[in-house]
Amino acid sequence: MLENLALRQQLLVLKRRHPKPRLGLLDKLFWVGLRQLWTGWKRCLYLVAPDTVPRWHRAGFRLYWAMLCKVHRRAGGPKIPREVRDLIFQMVAENATWGAPRIHGELRMLGFEVSQRTVSRWMRHAPRNPESAQRWRVFLRNHRETIAAMDFFTVPTLTFNLLYCFFIIRHDRRRILHFNVTRHPTSSWIVQQLREAFPYQSAPKFLLFDHDQKYGLEFLLPSDP
């Protein structure tokens, strides 16, 4: 039934009075939706290359979120002064073990009103010391057998929502240890994924992750299983 529907749709496009058949918005939506429902959709597509349909989906996803950004008022406060940014960069360079909470507290004591999230964002733009990067590479090379890393990547859906894909990978052989998908990644959900990935005290000595807001206190200070 889906095959007949796909062929009929293309015949309707060919019957239009154009020197070259053109696919309109409804035609593109038809193929984007059919791609989600039927694995054999490529066999019946003749008007465009199969790789064109995923591009339509990605373009629609970008357009959808661009329109949302225009409709909703842009969040965020005024830009922080350059003096505060320079202080953040200086603290990052002189105190390699300090995180965003510690630097945020130091700035508050100096009289600067700035959020911890803003401090964390500017910490990522701080200039890096090349000697520190060299020491980090040496550490990774010497301890690669006892290191695992975890992260998220996102996948857009047909309805322009996001699925969050969580994975854990071994550093030595780049082998995927665990993965899962959710619509709402919470701190407790991440803790449960770690329990499933490393049962019976099999966790690596070092676990690498970024400063994502999804890693809350429940993740940083997990309770015993």
> Rounded distance, CA 56 to CA 35, Å?
11
Q: 3 Cβ partners below 8 Å, 6+ apart?
A: 40, 43, 44
So what's the pLDDT on residue 72? 57
Q: What is the pTM of this model?
A: 0.47
Lowest mean pLDDT across 16-30, 94-108, 184-198: 16-30
> Rounded distance, CA 150 to CA 17, Å?
54
So what's the pLDDT on residue 89? 87
Lowest mean pLDDT across 48-52, 99-103, 118-122: 48-52
> For 137-146, what is each residue's pLDDT tens digit?
788 888 888 8
For range 55-76, the mean pLDDT? 72
Q: How confident is the model at residue 167 (pLDDT cuts 50, 70, 90)?
A: very high
Q: How confident is the model at residue 220 (pLDDT cuts 50, 70, 90)?
A: low
For range 76-101, the mean pLDDT? 80
For range 86-103, the mean pLDDT? 84
- Give the DSSP letter of residue 146: G
Average per-residue pLDDT for the chain: 81
Neighbours of 163 (CB within 10 A): 13
> Rounded distance, CA 180 to CA 191, Å?
12
